[in-house]
Amino acid sequence: MLETSSVPSLAELHALNPLQQPTYADAGALDSVIGKLRTLPPLVFAGECDELRAKMASVAAGEAFLLQGGDCAETFEGVTAANIQGKLRTLLSMAVVLTYAAQVPIVKVGRMAGQYAKPRSSASETRDGVTLPAYRGDAVNGFDFNPTSREPDPQRLLGVYNASAATLNLTRAFVTGGFAHLRRVHSWNADFVLSSAAVQYQALAGEIDRALAFMAACGIDDDIFRTVDFYSSHEALVLEYEHALTRIDSRTSLPYGTSGHFLWIGERTRQLHGAHVELMRHVRNPLGVKLGPTTTADTALELADRLDPDHEPGRITFITRMGAGKVRDLLPEVVAKVTASGRQVAWVCDPMHGNTFEARNGYKTRAFADVVEELNGFFDVHEELGTWPGGVHVELTGDDVTECVGGSDDLVEADLVNRYETLCDPRLNRNQSLELAFLVAERLTSGRIKRAALAVERPLVPSTAP
Ligand code: PEP
Ligand code: CO
């Protein structure tokens, strides 16, 4: 049974020696922030989390596809209308490409409205002989390299709550207030500098316009195209924050993480008996778990058993991030063994985190070709096994940044200096994101054709006709 009866206390979680946590100097200040957070309204509602879990169940069943994307690290400074609209527009455009070209329902989830805390490979950073705590995201400390800024400040957790609330508020307004109407599909990218992805996008938008005009002429009400469902997600990393926002739903008396709809456990904090798994196994949200190249099939199964003892549809999403050079070798055994156990989880590809490298000029970057290569490996593995490639998880922005090399604009390492704005990992820019959506759409379309051909060759119900 799911352990919903008693959410562990923060002291119990800390007794498990959680990794990647800030060390706060002032325990009293931290306690007062936690106390305040516990009184604030939930950011998301239990019913919405249930709705998303049901959608993730469709993904796991091969009937829908997940598009999850946004910044590596959101920042407080980045909470502006233009920034939120830019990311949303990019995600909605990608979703339209995927829906129209691949003809599958797309579940849309932002790495947005809560993605403020970052796990780090090193607890400190040294520059010119000076060593300070590493930047752990705006949830914890400041990016500026000085002792005051880098000191973990518990007040920032209230900042996360406020920034998430503002982002969610505008996002909800955008997706229900007309901005997301399919009739506006042209306008989302009207200001786009012409690139091959933009040309392809405008052609598709033209087709959608014609389809909508056709339906209108037939008397079909296009009101259902006015709004979209959009959900928030982030890595559940800082235990104080996630614990303070864990609430008991008055309707069902069950606990939910109300800091976001979909919460995931990162590659660095997914220890089977660690504090993050312990907290997350008690909440009812749909959960993600990142699986990197060291993951064995048994580890994946143990995590699934611990987080989802009841095999609840939509509960578990495995976000695999093996790396372009490893995915074909490592992923098959994990997927095959989990599937053979009778579990139906959602399999999602994060083609970003296994493909980061340092450019010669010192910038942390990713090559678009590697991202595509990992995605192709992911699709190939699932096609081979007959399992459903359930989605993509990407780091992207709505701006024309220069953080990842390659893509149709052919960004080279020397271009990174122009607009490198991320405070953490490099993101795909708008062009690269759209280009990726077209490539994924192509894979989904060819997969559909192959499956249809197989079904003709091997009908599920043998024909009885003579
Ligand atoms: C991330 O998603 O930004 C991240 C840190 O990923 P991972 O846990 O897979 O390394
Ligand atoms: Co990242």
Residue 464 above 60 pLDDT?
A: no
**Domains of the chain in sequence order:** 10-121+154-180+227-452 (3.20.20.70)
- Residue type at position 351: P
Please, which pLDDT band fits residue 462 given cuts at 50, 70 and 90?
Answer: low
Closest atom of ligand 1 relative to the 269 alpha carbon? 8
Query: Which residue stretches of 8-74 are H helix?
Result: 10-14, 27-39, 46-60
Q: How far is the CA of 434 from the centre of ligand 2 (A)?
A: 19
pLDDT at residue 461 in the model: 62
| CA angle (307 as vertex; 304, 309 as ends), nearest 5 | 75
The answer to whether 280 and 287 are in contact (CB under 8 A) is yes
Residue-wise pLDDT tens digits, 277-310:
999 999 999 999 999 999 999 999 999 999 999 9
Q: How far is the CA of 421 from the centre of ligand 2 (A)?
A: 14
User: Cα separation of 413 and 276, whole Å?
Assistant: 37
Please, which pLDDT band fits residue 2 given cuts at 50, 70 and 90?
Answer: very low
The percent of residues in the chain predicted with pLDDT above 70, rounded, is 97
Torsion of CA 178, 184, 185, 190, to 10 degrees: -120
At a CB cut-off of 8 Å and minimum separation 6, what does 303 contact?
A: 270, 272, 277, 289
**Whole-model pTM?**
0.96
Residue 4 above 70 pLDDT?
A: no
C-beta 236 within 6 A of ligand 1:
no
Query: Which residue stretches of 286-429 are H helix?
Result: 297-307, 327-340, 368-385
Residue-wise pLDDT tens digits, 195-210:
888 889 999 999 999 9
pLDDT at residue 1 in the model: 44
Nearest CA to ligand 1 atom 2: 72
C-beta 290 within 6 A of ligand 1:
yes
Average pLDDT of the chain is: 94
Residue-wise pLDDT tens digits, 53-109:
999 999 999 999 999 999 999 999 999 999 999 999 999 999 999 998 788 999 999
Residue 411 above 60 pLDDT?
A: yes
Closest atom of ligand 1 relative to the 267 alpha carbon? 8
Alpha carbons within 13 A on the beta-carbon side of 356 = 18
The percent of residues in the chain predicted with pLDDT above 90, rounded, is 84
Element (H, E) at 316: strand 316-320
